[in-house]
Amino acid sequence: MTSGGFIERLQTGLWEENPGLVQLLGLCPLLAVTTTFVNGLGLGVATLFVLTFSNALVSATRRWIRQEIRIPIYVLIIASLVTCIELVFKAWFPTLDRSLGIFIPLIVTNCAIVARAEIFASRNPIGASIADGIGMGAGFAMLLMGIGAFRELVGQASILSRLDMITGGEPFHGFSFADSGLLLAILPPGAFFSLAIAVALKNYIDQKRRNAGMQRSLRQSR
Amino acid sequence: MEFVRREAPYLAPKADVAAMMLQVLAALIPAALAHVWYFGPGFLFNLLVASAFCIGGEALMMRARSRAPEAALADYSALVTAALLAFALPSLTPWWVTATGSLFAVVVAKHLYGGIGFNVFNPAMAGYVVILVAFPMEMNLWVAPRMGDIDYIGLTVLQTVSYTLTGSLPDTLTFDAISRATPLDAMQSGLRGMRTYAEIRTNPMMGDFGGRGWEWIGNFFAFGGFWLLVKKIIRWQIPAGVFAGLLIPAGLMYIIAPGANASPGFHLFSGATILCAFFIATDPVSAATSPKGRFVYGCGIGFLIFAIRKWGSFADGVAFAVLLMNMATPAIDYITRPHIVGHPRRADRQ
């Protein structure tokens, strides 16, 4: 795998190899917490931080980690970072921490993070690894927020509900558009449907672009 | 996944898909009339809404898949889906609930899998389960059947239409006044409340076997089903399997503990058992295809219906049972491949 420039790494993470949309990694938190936009944002930002720092640390220590025990060491690094994030959440966003519950500690087991440590950070210099962490983390966070917003809109007919969990202040129940939504979107099947729609949309856009590109090159070759 | 396909030289079928679907629709007419008689004209409006959205969704999806919409609409399969969905719904259902179910059935369960012939799940049941989960309140408002009761409050045609369109009742009526627990609901909650079967049967809503009114609609389904059997539209294996899978465990449980279990007769004539056995489970696309496989498939549905009614959280389990067995269909077909004449049987080969 080539390291490439910063922008290229961002593009890879956000779109071409998006951990949620293309690699289908980390589906457990993706499906479980995305009932609202705010929940998605909270877990997405937490994952982004953990992924960026774990990539940096794994890359920095890659020459000293023995091949045979690399996975336990990655897990140790990731777990200590997750502990930091969890303490930060508990200190500054206590309500959001209660809302996300077990899924903050469970970031340790998010396979997207171990996968990036194994595939990318252990073979590339620090700069490229940090760029990769930001790209992949942002890609995952964007997907969490997108699916969260979609499920909230369809399921509760509101948006940005419980924004107070991030900003503080009075409980805020979001901008509501109707009395009730399609309950199915909030339920677990709705998470699978939403992810399927997102993956289908991504493939559709890719296909459109490929077709357009092919036609361009055809015209040029004539 | 690769599934084994049979490549024998088949005889040409006598009837095409359209003729078959029309006969299924015709076989549903007696039960439809009975449904209207017992539960009021709401069924007709549900059927109208479901048909409109099934046909609309089918045409839209054919257009989206750049095929001619006429080709799909000419086989009437969308109408059969709409009819089965309408039978599953309470007679008073707001139009948007019906529309959601119809569109899910046709767009997601049928066309996203490749249209008729390729759908893994029974479209009508998939649509029904979605609205059952998404609109639990609207889907549990069953009115009492008209049985000559003194306190029977029937809605007029106009009131039914206005409910279908707006989802609200006239000011003088409340849901508590017109809606009743279904016989299956009453039986399930009664048995779980430690009341005996005989005690629950004394409730005036119970009839000879199932609930009053309900059992008669079941009879008309059976009437249409037998006609389909005579016409060879469906084979006997699936209905026989459903009845065996449901009634044998129900009968055994009833013999062992007659107080704590509903009788097999009650299971047979309640809910959608007969509708399922003759019309839903026999869907030619999503059911098993080998003769032995059909029976196994039916037995599985029957047993799952029994299990959901006895231990599940829903009063009736037909839709879930059918969808679960749809998932098992490829495996059943693979295991029960018929023996080919001239080839050694598996036992002989060893």
Residue of B nearest to A185 (CA): B134
Token pair recorded at residue A162: 């419980």
The residue ranges of DSSP E strands in chain A, in sequence order, are 158-159, 175-176
Distance separating alpha carbons of residues B203 and B45, to the nearest angstrom: 31
pLDDT tens per residue, range A181-208: 788 888 888 999 999 999 999 999 999 9
User: Greater confidence, B140 or A83?
Assistant: A83
Distances (CA, A) of A203 to A15, A16, A18, A165, A210: 11, 10, 12, 34, 10
- Residue B339 burial (CB < 10 Å; 0-12/13-18/19+)? exposed
Query: Residues of B numbered 40-79 whose beta carbons fall under 8 angstroms of chain A's beta carbons: which are they?
Result: none
Residue of B nearest to A193 (CA): B108
Distance separating alpha carbons of residues A4 and B33, to the nearest angstrom: 71
Asked if the Cβ–Cβ distance from B130 to A184 is below 8 Å, we say yes
Task: Enumerate the residues of chain B whose CB falls inside 8 A of the CB of residue A196.
Answer: none
Task: Enumerate the residues of chain B whose CB falls inside 8 A of the CB of residue A183.
Answer: 133-136
Interface mutation vs chain A, best among B135, B138, B139, B140, most A CBs within 10 Å: B135
Asked if the Cβ–Cβ distance from A182 to B133 is below 8 Å, we say no
Distance separating alpha carbons of residues A9 and B181, to the nearest angstrom: 60
pLDDT band at B350 (very low <50, low <70, confident <90, very high): very low
Asked if the Cβ–Cβ distance from B136 to A183 is below 8 Å, we say yes
Task: Enumerate the residues of chain A whose CB falls inside 8 A of the CB of residue B134.
Answer: 182-184, 187
Residue of B nearest to A182 (CA): B134
Distance separating alpha carbons of residues B177 and A66, to the nearest angstrom: 75
DSSP label of B251: H
Query: Residues of B numbered 223-252 whose beta carbons fall under 8 angstroms of chain A's beta carbons: which are they?
Result: none
Distance separating alpha carbons of residues B241 and B246, to the nearest angstrom: 8
3-state secondary structure of A152: helix
Q: Is the pTM of this model over 0.90?
A: no
pLDDT tens per residue, range B84-117: 999 999 988 999 999 999 999 999 999 999 888 8
* Residues linked to residue A176 through DSSP beta bridges, in sequence order: A158
Give residue ranges of A with CB < 8 Å to any B CB: 182-184, 187, 189
Distance separating alpha carbons of residues B349 and B271, to the nearest angstrom: 47
Token pair recorded at residue B49: 């809404």
Domain-by-domain residue ranges, chain A? 6-221
pLDDT band at B3 (very low <50, low <70, confident <90, very high): low
3-state secondary structure of B211: strand
